[in-house]
Amino acid sequence: MGAPPDHHFSSEIPDEFDRWQTVLAEMNGESPRGQVLVGAALLDSLLEQSILTYLVDVPKAAKLLEGFNAPLGTFSARAIAALGLGLVSQDEFEDLDTIRKIRNEFAHKTNISFADDCIQKHTQKLKHTISSLGPQQSANGRFKVTIAKLTLRLTARLRHIPPRRLKYTAWPD
């Protein structure tokens, strides 16, 4: 016999699963460009939430992430900060950075699709896919699975950040 189930954890799974289903449904209803923009925006929002939840709880901390010229106001800066703060792993960071590159391609080019060579190359670098499908998985499929997996991981991780939140420490004079 194993350990008894963790009911606290299992009660939170439906919320995360519902969020994942909502995201997937929204992405599936979008054009390829919309899928990329919605998926990247969701991950950007989760990074922002994670960092704000981790930083010292002072009103000025939000200014690091919000507003004109915020130092952590971009997807790229947030992903780097999350890596540096230990909120994401190296593999997660690399996928976030690849998603950022894919987002930039779709945002700045008018005639682009998941069939384009540059997008194919980017999606081949994604680590959070369904490994059993290997190269058979389409570029669009690899992208959506990676968005879904990272969304689930970052959403689940949010509940573990508050106990680890940074606190002000009085420094010696």
Q: What is the 3-state secondary structure (H, E, C) of 31-50?
A: CHHHHHHHHHHHHHHHHHHH
CATH superfamily of the 17-164 domain:
Nucleotidyltransferases  domain 2 (1.20.120.330)
Q: Where are the domains of the chain?
A: 17-164
Q: What's the predicted TM-score (pTM) here?
A: 0.85
Q: What is the pLDDT along the chain (173 residues), one digit of tens a residue?
A: 444 333 333 344 456 667 667 777 888 888 999 999 999 999 999 999 999 999 999 999 999 999 889 999 999 999 999 999 999 999 999 999 999 999 999 999 999 999 999 999 999 999 988 765 556 689 999 999 899 899 989 999 999 999 999 999 999 98
CA-to-CA dists, residue 47 to 32, 125, 158, angstroms: 23, 21, 10
